[in-house]
Amino acid sequence: MRPQGVLETALYCPDLAAAEAFYSTVLGLEIGAVAGRHLFFRCGAGVLLLFNPESTAKEPIAVAGKPVPLHGAHGPGHMAFRTSLAEIPAWREHLQSHGVAIESEVAWPGGGYSLYFCDPADNSVEIATPELWGL
């Protein structure tokens, strides 16, 4: 038995207002919910969660009487969004038009292409083609 796919991905961002502006304006993700300690964005069939580690690592919560484990990371994380090779030039232009510096572009030897940049919390964000992972 194995998982059917990724349901959610999480990054940690202490400034949720800056993170919300970046992910909704620059990346065009649809915000699903705001709870003060975290943000939820719809992303294809999954969800991107942005947690404020100052809250999620210290403030316990319960849902239907059951505790949600504390969690929080400090320092930059990484995530990648899927795109097609044909869309890479448009993504490059789009990011630059929003003042987002591209840190690196990689044409992978086994196939695939990646654009790397940072979000306001210095998380490494990647726009990548699925060939990178043989998909």
Per CATH, which fold does 1-70 belong to? 2,3-Dihydroxybiphenyl 1,2-Dioxygenase; domain 1 (3.10.180)
Sequence-ordered list of residues with C-beta below 8 angstroms from that of 52, at least 6 positions apart, any chain = 12, 13, 14, 16, 37, 38
Please state the domain extents for the chain. 1-70, 76-135
Look up the CATH number of domain 76-135: 3.10.180.10
Angstrom distances, CA of residue 78 to CA of 27, 105, 117, 123? 15, 15, 10, 6
The answer to whether domain 1-70 and domain 76-135 are alike in fold is yes
pTM for the complete prediction? 0.87
Q: How far apart (Å, rounded) are the C-alpha atoms in residues 35 and 54?
A: 14
pLDDT in tens, 12-24: 999 999 999 999 9
> pLDDT at residue 87 above 70?
yes
pLDDT in tens, 33-80: 667 788 999 888 888 999 998 888 888 888 899 998 888 887 889 999
